[in-house]
Amino acid sequence: MAVEQRTPATGDLAPSERIPEPASVAYGRAVRRRAASLARLVVPFLVLGLVWGAIKVLFDLDDDVLVSPTTVAAAIWQLIERGILPDFIGLSLRRLGIATVVSLLIAVPIGIALGLNRLVATAFEPFFRFFQAVSGIAWLPLVIVWNGFTERTIIVIITYTLAVPVIFNTMVGIKTVPQRYADMCRSLGGGTSRVLRDVYLPGSLPSMLVGFRLGIGYGWRALIAGEMLVAQGGMGDLIFAARTGNQIDRIMAGMIVIGALYLILDQLILQPFEDATVAQWGVLRA
């Protein structure tokens, strides 16, 4: 028979002697956590839908001004049935994916190279803050002049918009890694590549991922704007084309889908990836 060991100060069971809770209890707690998390995500949107419907009814607004939530839901279903929505979503995500890969291949090496020299990184901080303020949408007219109303224009705009915060945050992340960590690694025989791999990359990872999430958000907005003005197809084109027929239901349906897609991308893919990656490779700074 096992003897329970208690800590002298509190009388609680020592950590090594605590009886693990049954699997059913742990599972139930996990289910409740997931349900609470889902409720926190869904409830604000339900409240918004109720307020939206109430405004429509109370003010007796015409459909040319504001349609009801049920009308928008019907428009979304109609777009799905006709195959328009899946095709347009796929086209927008493909453009975002291409631009993301291109921007990462460009931005990460530049950010690392600049961040390794603290004087250079400090000098370039105002430079990249300036370009963060000049959004990709502001560049759109000029890129149209250079490339015309082409697919390349959209990819260039998204790539620029996504790359700038990644470069900036990677550079700042590398710069803020304590120099003593790199010196310790070198004193143990680590070369440049080893220091970069084992010190600078893990140390800058939290900042780098923040820049990536910001870049995806900015790039998503640039994508929609570019599709409105340039592209044939895509969620931006869906909304912009609906304005010609005064299709308020389709415009609002497109807005909801755009927001939902980004929420799914951020909460179900980017956030878990950031949490898992930083937990495994990130470093904590005192």
Condensed to tens digits (0 to 9), the pLDDT of residues 74-122 reads 999 999 999 999 999 999 999 999 999 999 999 999 999 999 998 999 9
- Checking if the pLDDT of 1 tops 50, the result is no
Q: Has this prediction a pTM greater than 0.75?
A: yes
Strand partners, 13: 6
3-state secondary structure at position 117 = coil
Q: What is the pLDDT of residues 143-202, one digit of tens each?
A: 999 999 999 999 999 999 999 999 999 999 999 888 888 888 888 887 888 888 888 888
- Do 123 and 267 form a contact (C-beta atoms < 8 A)? no
Higher per-residue confidence, 37 vs 284 = 37
Query: Is residue 284 exposed (0-12), middle (13-18) or buried (19+ Cβ within 10 Å)?
Result: exposed
95: Cβ contacts below 8 Å, ≥ 6 apart: 151, 154, 155, 158, 223, 227, 231, 234
For a pLDDT cut of 70, what percent of the chain falls above it? 86
Which residues, including other chains, have CB under 8 Å from residue 37's CB and lie 6 or more apart?
Answer: none
More confidently predicted of 143 and 245: 143
CA distance 213 to 216: 5
pLDDT of residue 180: 87
Decide if pLDDT at 231 tops 80.
no
- CA dihedral of residues 187, 189, 190, 192 (deg, nearest 10): 90
Strand ranges (E), the chain: none
Task: Report d(CA 126, CA 144) in Å as an integer.
Answer: 27
Q: Tell whether the model's pLDDT for residue 22 goes beyond 90.
A: no
Nearest residue to 88 via CA among 265, 163, 96: 96
